[in-house]
């Protein structure tokens, strides 16, 4: 793949925590408008790689490029300025607040009149209207005035995604978005991912669920013990091949020794 094909890539990315090597010499790439799945067993380095891409961790060595430009992220805000948003597994929603309030949590629109500007009064009408626009993008019917605590898991995930879309990102990182959801909730989230891809977003999907990954992703990057062990096209890859790469195994027959359940949609493995 040429450099021009990628919206985001790393070259030789390495991250140490003291004497511990969390990620080593990873060459990762994300193409425009694709869903790239990132899979690996617990401790494989997925979280460390993602946190380097969104500015939470600074690499020990290696380079990150966005649209061919070398970048250095000191914090999450730097990554956001380059069009990268992340929805973490815990969602970080305020369950006692409304959907609209959560979509704008921390950056609420202020009324434009004198009193609004002087006292910092939130423009609730604008907040509701703009929240509705973001929710329409994820095509989940949710009342902006509803309390988050009253929503299903899938609806809460959609609210978190809608909040991320407020900054109009080019790249969206989703951390285990279906892990705690019912089968129906997981299907809805996968549909949201597909819709966002159709809208032109480039998406990194971290997941343990190989069945879902094979169904939704364009390509799959596999990490094992901090190293990138392979990248496969999802439409031609097999479950056993992916598991073999997750093990760092050379022979797919070794997969039988690896206990990884992917039989339940929406369940972590």
Q: How many CA atoms lie within 13 A of 132 on its CB side?
A: 8
**Confidence at 89, pLDDT banded by 50, 70, 90:** confident
In this prediction, residue 266 has a pLDDT band, given cuts at 50, 70 and 90, of very low
Look at residue 191 and tell me if it is in a domain: no
What are residue 126's phi and psi, to 5 degrees? -65, -40
- In this predicted structure, what is the pLDDT of residue 84? 98
Domain count, the chain: 1
pLDDT by residue (tens digit) across 115-143? 778 788 888 888 888 889 888 888 888 89
How far is Cα 209 from Cα 213, in angstroms, rounded to an integer? Answer: 6
Tell me the C-alpha to C-alpha distance, in Å, between residue 218 and each of 33, 97, 159, 179, 226: 10, 36, 24, 20, 22
* 148: in domain: no
pLDDT, position 23 = 97
Is residue 169 assigned to a domain? no
CATH number at residue 8: 3.40.50.300
Q: Is residue 222 part of a domain?
A: yes
What confidence category does residue 249 fall into, taking pLDDT thresholds of 50, 70 and 90? low
The per-residue pLDDT of the chain, averaged, comes to 88
Q: Given the DSSP bridges, would you call strands 20-26 and 6-17 parallel, antiparallel or unpaired?
A: antiparallel
Q: Is the pLDDT of residue 109 over 80?
A: no
Residue 91: phi, psi to the nearest 5? 65, -35
**Dihedral sign computed on CA atoms, order 234, 239, 243, 249:** negative
CA nearest to 142, candidates 130, 129, 154, 155: 155
Containing domain of residue 11, as a range? 1-83+202-250
Q: What is the mean pLDDT of residues 79-91?
A: 93
State the residue for tokens 């094909």: 5
Average pLDDT over residues 7-24: 97
Query: Sign of dihedral through CA atoms 92, 97, 103, 108?
Result: negative
Q: Tens digit of pLDDT for each residue in 41-67?
A: 999 999 999 999 999 999 999 999 999
In 3D, which of 31, 38, 25, 155 has the Cα closest to residue 102? 155
pLDDT value of residue 182: 87
Q: Is residue 2 part of a domain?
A: yes
Look at residue 156 and tell me if it is in a domain. Answer: no
Retrieve residue 59's tokens: 């690499």
pLDDT band at 193; cut points 50, 70, 90 = very high
Identify the CA nearest to 40 among candidates 260, 189, 264.
Answer: 260
Tell whether the model's pLDDT for residue 234 goes beyond 90.
yes
The Cα–Cα gap between 104 and 120 comes to 15
Confidence of residue 15 (pLDDT cuts 50, 70, 90): very high
Residue 230 included in any domain? yes
Whether the predicted pLDDT of 150 surpasses 50? yes
Structure confidence at residue 4 (pLDDT): 60
Q: What is the pLDDT of residue 257?
A: 47
pLDDT score, position 78: 96
Q: What span, in angstroms and rounded, lies between the C-alpha atoms of 138 and 222?
A: 27
- What confidence tier does 263 reach under pLDDT thresholds 50, 70, 90? very low
Structural domain contains residue 58? yes
**How large is the average pLDDT for residues 18-45?**
96
Task: Give the per-residue pLDDT at 261.
Answer: 43
The whole-angstrom separation of Cα 31 and Cα 6 is 4
Backbone angles phi, psi at 244, to 5 degrees: -60, -40
pLDDT higher than 60, residue 101 = yes
Would you state the pLDDT for residue 40?
95
What pTM did the predictor assign?
0.86
| 149 backbone dihedrals φ, ψ, rounded to 5° | -60, -20
């Amino acid at each position: 793949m040429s450099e021009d094909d990628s919206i985001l890539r790393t070259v030789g990315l390495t991250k140490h925590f003291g004497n511990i090597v969390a990620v080593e010499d990873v060459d990762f790439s994300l193409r425009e408008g694709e869903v790239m799945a990132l899979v690996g067993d617990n401790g494989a380095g997925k979280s460390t790689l993602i946190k380097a891409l969104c500015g939470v961790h600074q690499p020990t060595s290696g380079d990150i490029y966005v649209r061919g430009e070398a970048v250095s992220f000191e914090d999450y805000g730097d990554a956001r300025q380059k069009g990268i948003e992340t929805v973490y597994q815990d969602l970080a929603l305020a369950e006692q607040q409304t959907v609209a309030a959560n979509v704008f949590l921390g950056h609420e629109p202020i009324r434009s009149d004198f009193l609004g500007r002087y006292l910092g009064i939130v423009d609730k009408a604008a907040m509701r209207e703009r929240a509705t626009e973001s929710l329409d993008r994820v095509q989940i019917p949710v009342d902006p005035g509803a309390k988050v605590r009253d929503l299903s898991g899938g609806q809460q995930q959609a609210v978190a995604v809608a909040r991320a879309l407020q900054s109009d990102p080019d790249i969206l990182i989703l951390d285990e978005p279906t892990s705690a959801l019912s089968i129906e909730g997981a299907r809805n989230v996968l549909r949201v991912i597909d819709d966002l891809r159709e809208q032109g977003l480039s998406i990194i999907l971290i997941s343990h669920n190989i069945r879902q990954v094979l169904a939704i992703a364009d390509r799959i990057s596999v990490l094992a013990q901090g190293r990138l062990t392979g990248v496969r096209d999802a439409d031609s890859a097999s479950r056993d091949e992916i598991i073999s790469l997750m093990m760092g195994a050379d022979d797919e027959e070794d997969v039988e020794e690896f206990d990884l359940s992917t039989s339940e949609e929406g369940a972590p493995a």
